[in-house]
Every structure is written in structure tokens, then in C-alpha cells.
Amino acid sequence: MCNEHESGIERRALLAGGAALFGTLALSSSRARGNLRVLLAPDDETKTGGTQRTLVLLQLSGGNDGLSTVVPFGDDGYQRARKATRIESKEVLRLDEYRGLHPELKRLRKHFGDGRLAIVEGCGYPDPIRSHFQSMEVWHAADARGRDAGTGWIGRLWNSAWKDVAASELVVHLGATAPYSLYAPGRQTVTFQTPASYKWVAPDSGDRAAYEKASGEGEGKPRTGGDAVLARLRGVLSEAQESSTRIRKAASRYKTSVAYPESELAQTLRVVAALSDAHLGSRVVSVELGGFDSHNNQRQQHDTRMRELDAGLGAFLDDLAAQPWGRDVVVMAFSEFGRRVKENGSQGTDHGVAGPMFVAGPAVKGGLYGKHPSLGELDEGDLVHTTDFRSVYGTLIERWFGFDHAKVLGAKYPQLGFLPA
């Protein structure tokens, strides 16, 4: 299992470090330096940067209707406001006399019962934005300025807590384009959709040798805008070459007794499990489930999304419970906003504000956290958030990764109890 890792290092050692060991100038880049550190490291710790803990970010894109996910069936306000999208009291999977999970979330209900699922209710932020893109940016940057903040929250964590860690697969996104949360200047996220297609096809060995050199450091300072972009693209290529073989091997070798359904989310999460199983040192792995923008015909559309979420995340949590490394993985599910309390004219709901977040895994202390937002006291028809989502981020940064959350989030936020202090 370690061999893929070693082979990458050896190759790099030949390309860059080999010369570096003899004291030449090749150490000018952080990439080369990082590899040298790995090369000289006395133990496995440095390779993967200390602990093996992983955070899986599950983004529910489009604005998930929180009231249809954790349903406050015991609230008259809910019964009054929701007609076409209403989930009847007899359908919900009860958590208590006030709230219950969406009827499709059967596996997640079981994990809740087993104490592996924490639900943080009423998450949001002050002065909420109802644009998908702007609001998602706030969540990604953990900053009201969105992209103008300059980095994503994982990016800041990366550049502070793990700035010296050399693992190529430290931050991974499974999908077409990595979310802004992972963005950090000078860092390359490993991004792919399926392991099988994550490769460059070499017609012959000479081609491969030449291609591997195409990610070289180049010479001199960038003079034009194009030079600067080129330098960054070479960095991307370097990461791609480093990770391609390892990722594909990890995925093809992975064995589990858990039967993942055929849905896309489930298959993607299976790859996430494979990465953990291969101990590639991934700290953050991001995945996305889209289709939550339920302006019309919400009930049918949202039921389908819940079914897919339950099948995928449910199987993944089963797998975590069964694997020896499962305790080193937590999942955090979030969406850019909830939806309006009152329905619109087309059996759907428009963009709203607060919603629940899920944190799940064998190491998680399951249960209810935060406070369900009041359906009686609305702000212009919207729920008022009760927990700043940065409390959830902060708890994960502090208690999962052991890092000072204020350094990443710019302020202190109350810690939540879903992880032991």
C-alpha cells in the first residue's frame, strides 16, 4: 500500500530532490522543498502530516429545504405554512415529539439512533444573502465578503495548520470543479470525477518521460500575465502527475463488505472511502450533490434528493462503522441556504435562509445541537438562524484537527458538543 506513495517520491527525488541532496539550487520551489522533507522524514508522520483524520465536506447545492429535511411536524406554524410540500406527521421519522427526519432518510435515522449522526439546527449567518452563488461564497469563505475574502476556509486551514505537509492528496475534490472553500493561493487541489479517467494516456514510454518534465519549474520570473498563468498550470500538472497513479490504485484495490448503491453520490463516497483506506493522507475531501433548488414541484423533487442522500451517505456511514480507519473520518453536510417558510405559487419554495447541518461519523457524538428556528418569529417570511455555521466549522477545526479555530475564522465562535473537547 505504501509503495505507490514511495514510487512518487522516488520519481520526484530523481527529478528534483536528487540534485537537491547534493546542495544545488533546485530547492527554490516549495514543491521541491516539500518533497525533500518527505524524502528525509524519519517516520510516516511527516508524510501525511501527523494524524490521519479526514473531514468529508458534502455540499447540497441549490438550497436545501431544511423544513423538509428535519421536519418540525409538531409546530403549528409548519402545518399552516406548508401545504403542497408538507410532510405529514405520520410520514416523518420521528426524532422526538417536535421534529423528525424526512421519510426517505431511513438509513440516516438509524445512524442517528446509533449515535453517529449529529444534527445542528438553524444554521446560518447574519445579514443572509439569497443568491445561490453569493451565499455559497459566504459558506465557502466563512466570511461575509465571500470571494473577496481571498481564500476559502479550508484553504486558510491548509495554509496555516498544514502548510508544511507534503501529501499530494491532502485536499481532494471529487467532481468537475473544486469549490471555493478549498482555495488557497499557491495550492493545488487534486480534482477528479472518477478514478478511471484520472490519467494522461501515453502512447509510449518516451512520451511519458517527456510529459513528466512538462511540469517543471521553468526559468526566471514571470514577465507577462501569460507567464504567471503558465507557472500555475505547471503546478496543477505536477499535482496531477503525482496523484494520478495513487488515486487509481487506491480506488481499484478498495474492498468493502458494504454494498454501495449505484447512485452517483454513493459511488463517489465509495471512492472517498478508498482514499482513506489507502492512507494517502487526505485531510479534506469534498463532494457535491446538486438539484436542491426546488422552486416548483418540490415534494417530488426533494424526495428524490433525500433518497439519494440517504442511500449514499447511509452506505458511507455503514462503511465507516465497519472499517478500522472509520473513526478517523467525519462528514459535514451543508447547503447555501434553506428556503422560505411560505410556499410559492408552484408547489415549491423560493430562496430562504437558515437550515440544518449534519455532522456524522463513528467519532461523532450524535444527537441534536443548536436550536430549531422559530416558525412564529420570522424575519420577513424567513427563519432566523440560531447557530452561526462557523460554530460548526470552528468545532471541527478545533476538536477534529486540533487547530486554533480563531486563526482560521478570524474570530472565536462557540464550540459545539458533537466532538469531544
Helix axes 106-113, 298-322, angle to 10 degrees: 40
Residue 27 or 231: the one with the smaller Cβ distance to other proteins is 231
Using CB under 8 A, pick the residue from 192, 389, 401, 413 that binds other proteins.
192
Tell me the closest approach of the beta carbon of residue 247 to other proteins, in angstroms. Answer: 9
What is the smallest separation between the CB atom of 278 and other proteins, expressed in angstroms? 17
Asked if 226 touches other proteins (CB under 8 A), the answer is yes
What does the DSSP assignment read for 302-359?
A: HHHHHHHHHHHHHHHHHHHHHSTTGGGEEEEEEES--B-SS--TTSS--B---EEEEE
Radius of gyration of the chain, Cα coordinates, nearest whole angstrom? 23
Q: Which of these ranges, 198-206, 331-339, 398-406, 408-416, lies near other proteins under the rule CB under 8 A?
A: 198-206
- Binders of other proteins among residues 316 to 355 (CB under 8 A) are 344-348, 350-351
- Sign of the dihedral through C-alpha 140, 143, 144, 150: negative
C-beta of 242 vs 318, nearer to other proteins? 242
Decide: residue 281, CB within 10 A, 0-12 exposed, 13-18 middle, 19+ buried: buried
Check residue 90 for interaction with other proteins (CB under 8 A).
Answer: no
Chain residues 349-408 in contact with other proteins, contact rule CB under 8 A: 350-351, 380
Rounded to whole angstroms, the Cα distance separating 190 from 103 reads 36
Near other proteins by CB under 8 A, which window of 201-209, 250-258, 352-360, 396-404? Answer: 201-209
Alpha-carbon distance of 268 to 262, in angstroms, equals 10
Q: Is 186 in the site for other proteins (CB under 8 A)?
A: no
* 412 is a contact residue toward other proteins (CB under 8 A): no
Q: How many residues bind other proteins (CB under 8 A)?
A: 81
Q: Cell triple for residue 123? A: 444554521
Residue 147 contacts other proteins per CB under 8 A: no
The correct pick among 35, 64, 191, 282 for binding other proteins (CB under 8 A) is: 191
Question: Given the rule CB under 8 A, which of 234-242, 278-286, 329-337, 406-414 is the region that contacts other proteins?
Answer: 234-242
Residue 214 in contact with other proteins, rule: CB under 8 A: yes
The phi, psi pair for 270, rounded to 5°, reads -65, -40
210 lies in the binding site for other proteins (CB under 8 A): yes
Number of C-alpha atoms within 13 angstroms, CB side, residue 361?
A: 26
Q: Is 35 in the site for other proteins (CB under 8 A)?
A: no
Our finding on whether 198 is near other proteins (CB under 8 A) is: yes
Question: Nearer to other proteins by C-beta: 231 or 321?
Answer: 231
Instruction: Measure the CA–CA gap between 37 and 31, rounded to whole angstroms.
Output: 10
Smallest distance from the beta carbon of 302 to other proteins, in angstroms?
9
Q: Taking CB under 8 A as the rule, does residue 143 contact other proteins?
A: no
Asked if 76 is part of the footprint of other proteins (rule: CB under 8 A), the reply reads no
58 vs 331, which CB is nearer to other proteins?
A: 58
- Candidate residues 46, 151, 181, 215; the one interacting with other proteins per rule CB under 8 A: 215
Q: How far apart are CA 2 and CA 246, in angstroms?
A: 10
Cell of 129: 444573502
Q: Which is nearer to other proteins, 190 or 392 (CB)?
A: 190
β-strands 387-388, 70-71 pairing = unpaired
- The reply to whether 228 sits near other proteins by the rule CB under 8 A is yes
Task: Rule CB under 8 A: say whether 297 interacts with other proteins.
Answer: yes
Strand partners, 64: none
Nearer Cβ to other proteins (177/257): 177
Residues 6+ apart with CB under 8 A from 312: 260, 261, 263, 265, 266, 268, 269, 289
Least Cα distance to 246 among 53, 9, 8, 34 occurs for 8
As a whole number of angstroms, the longest Cα–Cα distance in the chain is: 75
Of 94-133, binders to other proteins (CB under 8 A) are 129-133
Quick one: 7 or 346, whose CB is closer to other proteins?
346
- Measured CA to CA, the distance from residue 214 to residue 324 in angstroms comes to 39
Instruction: Identify which of residues 210 and 259 has a Cβ nearer to other proteins in the complex.
Output: 210
Residues 247-286 that bind other proteins (CB under 8 A): 262-265, 267
